[in-house]
Structure 1
Amino acid sequence: MDMQQMRYVVAVAETRNFTRAAERCSVVQSSLSHRIAALERELGVRLFARSSRRVELTSAGAAFLDGARECLAAADRAVADAAAATGAVRGRLAVGVIVTTAAIDVPELLQRYRAAHPDVHVVLRSGRSDELTAAIRNGELDIAFLGLPEGEPPLGVETVVLDHDEHVLVVPAGHRLASAPRVELRDIAEELFVDFAAGTPGRTQSDQAFAAAGLVREVAYEAGVVELITRLIARGLGVALLPSAFIRPLAAGDPGLSLVPVADGPHRVEYLAWSRFNPSPATRAMLDVLGVGARAGRTAGAGPHPA
């Protein structure tokens, strides 16, 4: 058994297709199939159930896959550590980001990082703050930009606070409150709302604010992306509470939207988060670009630190 066979198994497991897996690994399909078959003979188990139309992991294959990924990650880390010892930064950096990040210009940051460390393979993943935090803890992500309700910092990861923000009311132009200097939650509790899905951190911030005020609201439309939320609002289908730092630049170029301050609205904290356990050279290099590298060096492997 060798590392290449493990890479082939992971590729087939992720693509569920031998042809696409071979393309990903830059080999001919017959060679990939032969190497996996040889591995199965060596192990004495079938890793994949195959038919003319489907490829699925067997229970033995699923068990092998976890270990194979760990071995490949360890091998990649060994190569990256060896390069770092000579001053070179290589390897892979997995970055997570919420769709409403405003404290950091992520594309500009990635451009600067690539210019400084062109040998690092960077991957970007968007998602919810809770999902991204869990992905850091289980090793799927190296670093992430999060947004969470005030007083609820992410757990089990190192963090730096990037910004504090408050939500504003987003209404269609011409709405009865469009020109109001400020509103309170009780003024808008009877409105129909557009919001993120129930249970997500983006939604929780507003739900908690209304609950704290003893108010109940109706969320008529749920959406996973801000672009859909603002389009629904512009059509007069509802209103929303969104982070001001994120929505202000978007609303400035959209005459169909108006923003109104909310006196008792939700507050959000944006965080930079990364694993507190032995950050990779690529991760430490990103923290240096962000200006928090010294803290990473002090806290790597240490216990909890306040956000």
Structure 2
Amino acid sequence: MELRQLRHFMAVAEEGNFTRAAQRCHIVQSALSTSIRALEAELGARLFVRTTRHVSLSAAGEAYLEQVRRALDVLDRASSDVADIHAIRKGRLSVGTVQSLPPFLDLSSLMSRFHERYAQIEIRLVQGGAFDLNDKVAAREIDLAILPIEERSEKLASHKVACDDLVLACSPRHALAGRRTIRLSELADEPFADFAPGHGTRRLVDRGFAEADIRRRVAFEIGDLDTLINLVEQGLGVALLPGDLVARQTGRLAHVAISGRKFCWELVVAHLPAPSDDAPPPLDPAPLAFLEMLLQETAAERGG
């Protein structure tokens, strides 16, 4: 049986007349009669008692009507839900992110503006390591993940959302605080405060020192940015951190540019790839709208 046959049956049952039911369904009466006969043949039961002046439900038709009404109500509500999701009146958005984000990527503010525009969307934010975030995107547990470009899975599509050079951050009282530039080799004996392996900018910094064949001393391995900044501010260690972040710690941190080597910290937003180059990403309307908002804002921050 087909959905249209159920709607035809409902129309005849409620109108009690084939002519009025055909008008309601916007089809000719003969086509409606054919549809009802086909439905009765498929069910193996007579649904209507027909007289020359009136059409009434049989006992089988009465029982069938109750269930058809419920089924059509469920289908109508399902169609309404689909329309709401498509129009971003209903749905979910789940975003994963590594802990360290640049100050200009104000994710909470962006989510607040998204919520103001799409108040009925359920928003979920999770933090974690890049490895877990890649897996969650691949398993469709989250829609989008913001993570360092070098830690993005090659199986995912991505767009750049942040790019900042790392600088040496130290206490304003540190002996290096007055320098304008410094070479990595001059930092070999300095105690470093850094993120735990696999988190934040740690992989980028480790790779830079390894490629320069310089061994450094990591005295503090930290899980959060605030603690790391506090340690550096107190003069217990130095750190390589994004320049924009350090510049905003006025009075707390001094910064020195790295010479001879460029540390470019890039963040991307990753998601499942499109099935083809000319197809949109396989995202529901709400995550797709948030992705577009994120890319517009970060492009403006980076000067287009």
Q: CA deviation at 1:247?
A: 2.9
Going from structure 1 to structure 2, the CA distance change for 1:166 and 1:79 (only over 3 Å counts) comes to farther
Residue 271 of structure 1 corresponds to 268
Provide structure 2 residue ranges, at least 5 long, that are not aligned to the other structure: 1-77, 275-281, 297-304
For the pair 1:105 / 2:98, whether they are aligned, the reply is no
| 1:246, distance to aligned residue in structure 2 (A) | 2.7
In structure 1, what residue type is equivalent to 2:256?
A: V
Contact (CA 8 Å) 2:193, 2:219: kept in 1 or not? yes
Q: C-alpha displacement at 1:84, in angstroms?
A: 3.0
Deviation of 1:213 (Å)? 0.7
**Does the Cα contact within 8 Å between 2:168 and 2:239 map onto a contact in 1?**
yes
| Cα distance in 2, alignment partners of residues 147 and 288 from structure 1 | 19
Q: Is the aligned partner of 1:93 residue 2:90?
A: no
The 1:88–1:100 alpha-carbon spacing in structure 2 relative to 1, beyond 3 Å, is: closer
TM-score (norm 1): 0.63
Say if 1:190 and 1:246 are closer, same or farther in 2 by CA, change over 3 A.
same
* Structure 1 residue aligned with 2:286: 282
| Residue 226 (structure 1) shift | 0.8
Aligned twin of 1:64:
none
Preserved CA contact (<8 Å) 1:144 1:274: yes
Aligned length: 210
Provide closer, same or farther for how the CA distance between residues 90 and 186 of structure 1 changes in structure 2, counting only shifts above 3 A.
same
SS of corresponding position for 1:114: helix
1:100 touches 1:246 (CA, 8 Å); kept in 2? Answer: no
SS of match in other structure, 1:273: strand
Structure 1: unaligned runs, 5 residues or longer: 1-76, 293-307
1:215, distance to aligned residue in structure 2 (A): 0.4
Is the CA contact (8 Å cut-off) linking 2:164 and 2:265 kept in structure 1? Answer: yes
Larger radius of gyration: 2
Letter in 2 for 1:218: R
Q: Find the counterpart in structure 2 of residue 35 from structure 1.
A: none
Does residue 258 (structure 1) correspond to residue 254 (structure 2)? The answer is yes
**3-state secondary structure, aligned to 2:182:** coil
User: Which letter does structure 1 place at the counterpart of 2:291?
Assistant: L
1:142 alignment partner AA: D
Q: CA contact under 8 A between 1:172 and 1:178: conserved in structure 2?
A: yes
CA displacement 1:9-37 (0-9 Å, x = unmatched): xxxxxxxxxxxxxxxxxxxxxxxxxxxxx
**Superposition RMSD on alpha carbons, in Å?**
2.3
Q: Alignment partner of 1:168: what SS?
A: strand
Kindly report which structure 2 residues correspond to 1:107-256, keeping only aligned pairs within 5 A, or say none: 107-149=108-150, 153-200=152-199, 202-249=201-248, 251-252=249-250, 255-256=251-252
Question: Does 120-129 or 152-161 show the bigger shift?
Answer: 152-161
SS at match of 1:193: strand
Deviation, 1:82, is: 4.1
